[in-house]
Amino acid sequence: MKFSVSRDSLTTAINAASRALSNKTPMPILTGVKVEATYDGVVITTSNGDLSMQVTVEQDGLKVDQPGVQVIPGRYFIEIVRKMTADKITIESMDDNLINIRGGQSDFTLNGMENELYPDIVFSTLSNPIILQIEELRALVGQTNFATSLLENRPILTGVLFDVEGNQFRAVATDSYRLAQKQIELNISYDAKQIVVPRRTLEELSRILGVDTQIELFVADNKVIFKFNNVLFQSRLLEGRFPETNKLIPAEFPIEVSFNKNQLVAAIERASLLNIAGKDSIVKLKLYKSGTVKITSHTTEIGKVVEEVTPTATLSESEFTIAFSSKYVVEALRVFESNEITMYFTGVVKPFVIKGELDEGVLQLILPVRVE
């Protein structure tokens, strides 16, 4: 194998591929980067067992003198390419399974890894992909992924449900104490399909999304593949039955209170300042008949705080008090792009919903906390 390529093109490719590179694995070969050169181009493959990526090196200045395949120690390969300053880099396989990487005044020789030990990773891009705009996918992930569970006792809750039916695409995440939902309308109608994508997959995917106009989503054999630009990003899916979250969302709300989002976030954050380290801060929201809202927090060991917030609108015939996790509410509020949000209540111990004036299709649901 021997090829030359611009440093910028190679750096871009390996930076993307590094998201799926394994650092700790029972398969040491997965700490390597598989580089395959053909006269049609150079493809870089990485995998950690759960995530796999295949990145095609852009044709900018690419010249393949000799096709071949080589697995190169990932950590050293990536750092070498990043630190080299030459405009063009040449990579060549040598005798005794050695790899030479040179450019400008730099010349590195690495011990290669055993090619035949690298697993055969198939990136199945079938027909009829689900087509999304990049910004749509960013919103679907960004407004839901934070609400997944961090605990492994219910693995299905550590992922986000992608529910497609007709031209409706719904993303849902819940840790059983809160729920985040985002729904968009697609330009094309699709057969009904439900998959649950791991949280980490979506985190890594979000980090490498470019400014492309669209992304293709393929589902096959308990895996999902996202295809965009010169990247194939593949992940396993979570197995199990995702909760029927639609049943959790109340149909009617006798109490509605609207706020300026930033003012409400600031008030809740100040009210939670007196929390005990390591414990979730619980705050109370009380709506008075006058329309005034006070947010309070009290801990016997430290003290108490009272924050008064003026709603932009209210719909209630009586006073109302509810307690909740400040962390959950602030995280939910931060995903809204709207300046004004509305909180919808059904009772002091029943889930409440938050929606944004301009955030179409976004719903955040949070369970209140029982306090004496």
Whether the per-residue pLDDT at 144 is higher than 70: the answer is: yes
3-state SS record for the chain: CEEEEEHHHHHHHHHHHHHHCCCCCCCHHHHEEEEEEECCEEEEEEECCCEEEEEECCCCCCEEEECEEEEEEHHHHHHHHHHCCCCEEEEEEEHHHEEEEEECCEEEEEECECHHHCCCCCCCCCCCCEEEEHHHHHHHHHCCHHHCCCCCCCHHHHEEEEEEEEEEEEEEEECCCEEEEEEEEEEEEEEEEEEEEEHHHHHHHHHHCCCCCEEEEEEECCEEEEEECCEEEEEECCCCCCCCHHHHCCCCCCEEEEEEHHHHHHHHHHHCCCCCCCCCCEEEEEECCCCCEEEEEEECCCEEEEEEECCCEEECCCCEEEEEEHHHHHHHHHCCCCCEEEEEECCCCCCEEEEECCCCCEEEEECCCCCC
Whether the per-residue pLDDT at 142 is higher than 90: the answer is: yes
Kindly indicate whether the domain formed by 2-117 is annotated with CATH number 3.10.150.10.
Answer: yes
CA-based nearest residue to 172, from 16, 163, 164: 163
Calculate ∠ Cα 183-130-219, nearest 5°. Answer: 105
Q: Is 14 exposed, middle or buried (0-12, 13-18, 19+ CB in 10 A)?
A: buried
Mean pLDDT of the chain: 93
Structure confidence by residue, pLDDT tens digits, 67-124: 999 999 999 999 999 999 999 999 999 999 999 999 999 999 999 999 999 999 988 7
Structure confidence by residue, pLDDT tens digits, 303-327: 999 999 999 999 987 899 999 999 9
Domain boundaries, the chain: 2-117, 130-245, 249-366
Which string of b and e fits 89-115 if b means at least 16 CB within 10 Å?
Answer: bbbbbeeeeebebbbeeeebebebbeb
- Give the pLDDT mean for 217-232: 91
- Per-residue model confidence (pLDDT) at position 26: 81
- Per-residue model confidence (pLDDT) at position 2: 96
pLDDT band at 210 (very low <50, low <70, confident <90, very high): confident
Structure confidence by residue, pLDDT tens digits, 43-57: 999 999 999 999 999
- Per-residue model confidence (pLDDT) at position 111: 97
As given in the structure block, the two tokens for residue 153 are 């006792």
> Are 2-117 and 130-245 the same fold in CATH?
yes
* Cβ-based neighbours of 225, under 8 Å, separated by 6 or more: 123, 124, 125, 217, 218, 219, 232, 233, 234
- Give the pLDDT mean for 212-231: 89
pLDDT band at 278 (very low <50, low <70, confident <90, very high): low
Structure confidence by residue, pLDDT tens digits, 230-254: 999 999 999 999 999 988 899 899 9
pLDDT band at 372 (very low <50, low <70, confident <90, very high): low
Whether the per-residue pLDDT at 343 is higher than 80: the answer is: yes
pLDDT band at 352 (very low <50, low <70, confident <90, very high): very high
More confident residue, 121 or 26: 121
- Per-residue model confidence (pLDDT) at position 212: 67
- Per-residue model confidence (pLDDT) at position 221: 79
- Per-residue model confidence (pLDDT) at position 233: 96
- Per-residue model confidence (pLDDT) at position 300: 82
**Residue whose structure tokens are 């109370």:** 284
- Please state, in angstroms and rounded to a whole number, the distance separating the CA atoms of residues 358 and 371: 33
- Per-residue model confidence (pLDDT) at position 152: 87
We find that the CATH architecture of domain 249-366 is Box (3.70)
Q: Class of the 130-245 domain? A: alpha beta
Distance of CA 55 to the CA centre of its chain: 20
